[in-house]
Amino acid sequence: MLRVTVYNADGEAVGEAELREDIFGIEPNVAVMHQALVRQLANARLGTHKTKSRGEVSGTTRKVWRQKGTGRARHSSRKVNLWRGGGVAHGPRPRSYRQKMPRKMRRLALRSALSVKAADGQIVCLDELELGVPKTREMIKVLERLGLDASVLILLPERNENVEKSVRNIPDVSTLRASYLNVRDLLNYDYLLMPLGALREIERILG
């Protein structure tokens, strides 16, 4: 049975929480994690890059000079890629980079990433995370009391404007709602900080 210490906002231990073995204690599948990360990065690409071909650039289609007798290489139009201002040969065209991945594999990738965090002791649980007003200084104090001096991803069970606004100006710290949990963010941050509500939401989604 996996257990983690639960802290309050003052950095004091107030209890323990159980982490489900089938989510936080599996053997990580590195290949699936890598595939999920590549898929996510690929799906984020817009694919709107484009160059103009010889048929799309402006210019005359008149033959530059006659075919024979000039002593120079034969040419047709100034719109070909050999001339300045001409089209681009074999240039990029709009395309979709979207990759598909079965839901079971996507969930396995998330479980693997969470299991890596749990095994390395990089999951920190809070009983709750609430701020009366947006206050960056107060959020920094909470992180300092918990001893989190590296990059931190704060998982929230639901929208929390006070916490989200308090984190915006803190370097290497970000918030994410538990329902949007993804492999890239899990791997980009050193620590995963989550209140018990976010832990229950993860168990509901991946359980």
Q: Which residues contact 95 (CB under 8 A, 6 or more apart)?
A: 47
pLDDT of residue 130: 87
Indicate the residue among 55, 79, 96 that finishes a domain. 96
Indicate the residue among 59, 77, 96 that finishes a domain. 96
Q: Please name the amino acid found at residue 11.
A: G
pLDDT of residue 153: 95
Judge if 7 and 76 occupy the same domain: no
Pairing of strands 13-19, 2-7: antiparallel
Judge if 160 and 186 occupy the same domain: yes
pLDDT of residue 91: 94
Judge if 115 and 59 occupy the same domain: no
Joined together, the tokens standing for residue 9 give: 């906002």
Please give the tally of structural domains in the chain: 2
pLDDT tens, residue by residue, 33-77: 999 999 999 999 999 999 999 999 998 889 999 999 999 999 989
Judge if 65 and 105 occupy the same domain: no
pLDDT of 1 strictly over 80: no
User: 207 vs 108, which has greater pLDDT?
Assistant: 108
- Domain of 145, CATH number, reads 3.40.1370.10
Judge if 32 and 108 occupy the same domain: yes
Judge if 129 and 75 occupy the same domain: no
Indicate the residue among 62, 96, 130 that finishes a domain. 96
pLDDT of residue 10: 86
Judge if 172 and 194 occupy the same domain: yes
pLDDT of residue 2: 83
pLDDT of residue 187: 93
pLDDT tens, residue by residue, 148-183: 888 999 999 999 899 999 999 999 999 999 999 999
Judge if 168 and 108 occupy the same domain: yes
pLDDT tens, residue by residue, 66-122: 999 999 999 989 999 999 999 999 999 999 999 999 999 999 999 999 999 999 989
Judge if 82 and 149 occupy the same domain: no
Judge if 55 and 28 occupy the same domain: no
The residue segments making up the domain with residue 103 are: 2-45+99-206
Judge if 103 and 120 occupy the same domain: yes
Judge if 29 and 54 occupy the same domain: no
Q: Please give the share of the chain, as a percent, with pLDDT higher than 70.
A: 100
Model confidence at 138, pLDDT cuts 50, 70, 90, reads very high
Q: Quick one: how far is CA 68 from the chain centroid?
A: 59
What's the mean pLDDT when you consider all of the chain? 92
First to last CA, the chain: 16
Between helices 30-43 and 103-119, what is the axis angle to 10°? 120
Model confidence at 11, pLDDT cuts 50, 70, 90, reads confident
3-state secondary structure the chain: CEEEEEECCCCCEEEEEEECHHHHCCCCCHHHHHHHHHHHHHHCCCCCCCCCCCCCCCCCCCCCCCCCCCCCCCCCCCCCCCCCCCCCCCCCCCCCCCCCCCHHHHHHHHHHHHHHHHHCCCEEEECCCCCCCCCHHHHHHHHHHCCCCCCEEEEECCCCHHHHHHHCCCCCEEEEEHHHCCHHHHHHCCEEEEEHHHHHHHHHHHC
Strand order of the β-sheet with 2-7 is 13-19, 2-7, 123-126, 191-195, 152-156, 173-177
